[in-house]
Amino acid sequence: MIRSVLAIGLCIALGACASRPASAPTLSLPPPPPTGEPAGLTGLSADHLRGAFGVPAFTRKESGSEMWRYDGANCRAFFFLYPNGTGQIVRHVETLPRGKDIAADVSCLDALRARRS
């Protein structure tokens, strides 16, 4: 009889533990980059971008769009190109590290351009 009472008590205790919902882990995402684009870069064709910055260190194609990455000594620039007529044009630019007021640091972009010339 004592065994059956202990077994029932153990089952109740385990059932109580199992009925509590597990808490989901907290996921913290970084803030999005500031809005805005550096002057003179959005709307550039792929040929003009290559002429200004050279051959990208890395490219990725997805659903008609492309991302071109340029690597400098102290930063990286990411250009996002989208279809426009028969070619592609730059629609967004970001750098790592980011700029203070926009997603791209202008000094990084200037350094990458200077490296080309």
- The residue-averaged pLDDT of 89-115 equals 93
d(CA 114, CA 5): 82
Angle at 64 between CA 62 and CA 67, to 5 degrees: 55
pLDDT of 79 over the 70 cut:
yes
> CA nearest 94: which of 104, 82, 102?
104
pLDDT band for 7, please (50, 70, 90 cuts): low
Rounded to two decimals, the pTM is 0.72
* Residue of higher predicted confidence among 59 and 100: 59
- The Cα–Cα gap between 33 and 95 comes to 10
Is residue 9 pLDDT above 90, yes or no? Answer: no
pLDDT tens profile 26-69: 888 877 777 888 999 999 999 999 999 999 999 999 998 999 99
| C-alpha to C-alpha distance for 12 and 32, rounded to whole angstroms | 48
Q: Domains (ranges, CATH) in the chain?
A: 36-117 (3.30.1450)
Residue 14 — very low, low, confident or very high, per pLDDT cuts 50/70/90? Answer: low
